[in-house]
Amino acid sequence: MALHIHEAWILLFVIPALVTPAAINHEDYPADEGDQTSSNDNLIFDDYRGKGCVDDSGFVYKLGERFFPGHSNCPCVCTEDGPVCDQPECPKIHPKCTKVEHNGCCPECKEVKNFCEYHGKNYKILEEFKPSPCEWCRCEPSNEVHCVVADCAVPECVNPVYEPEQCCPICKNGPNCFAGTTIIPAGIEVKVDDCNICHCHNGDWWKPAQCSKRECQGKQAL
């Protein structure tokens, strides 16, 4: 019984030695699914460096070919070092621009506001107009309205009249002034009552008249 046990141990050590790595056929053991996927992915994505350029949508362009990447209107040229794109400094759009086109690399103003707005009305460039009798205005090339307001001189009378379509008041009856509540013409002495004779200041028509007392006719009658 002891002899049979000894022989069995010898067989256990001998059999593994007979099975060598060369005896195992790797083709009988397929690669893991993950390894297969990895090897296939490497075949899908080609390297276009030095051969072409790929845009955002995956389209391939040849060397020297001109294209527009993405939504840009600025062109690119495919080179061995990759796409070389125009990046100009675009001029600023005029603030009065009413129509802008984006067909080129830079936005372009196609229509500029060529009139002025003033109190709800439109005026052409360099047009002159009078919104009121005392205002003179002009529509400037900058689309802004510049106005000059007339500075009226002090009238030479106390009862000036404003005529239609005229800016400054006029003295229809000539210069005058007040003597109390009575309006008297300038340049002559006026007897305003039995005792006072008045006349207007020279040049200062807005001041009250200068009056001097004379002998009253009422006293002479007594």
Q: Give 91-119 pLDDT, tens digit per residue.
A: 888 777 888 888 778 888 887 778 898 99
Assign residue 206 a region: left if phi > 0, alpha if psi is -120 to 50, beta otherwise?
alpha
State both tokens at 219: 């006293």
Q: 10 Å Cβ neighbour count for 58?
A: 6
Residue 1 CA, distance from chain mean position: 109
pLDDT (mean) for 145-173:
89
Q: So what's the architecture of 115-149 in CATH?
A: Ribbon (2.10)
Instruction: Summarize pLDDT for 7-52 with one digit per residue, the tens.
Output: 444 444 444 444 444 444 444 444 444 444 434 443 344 566 677 8
Q: Alpha-carbon distance 29 to 21, whole Å?
A: 14
For 60, the token pair is: 């391939």
Give the integer Cα–Cα distance in Å for 187 and 155.
16
* Dihedral of the alpha carbons of 32, 38, 41, 46, in degrees to the nearest 10: -140
Give the model's pLDDT for residue 48: 64
Domain borders along the chain are: 51-108, 115-149, 154-215
Q: DSSP character for 168?
A: S
Span 174-206, pLDDT tens digits: 899 988 888 888 888 888 888 888 988 776 767
Mean of the per-residue pLDDT values for the chain? Answer: 76
Nearest-angstrom CA–CA distance, 36 and 176: 116
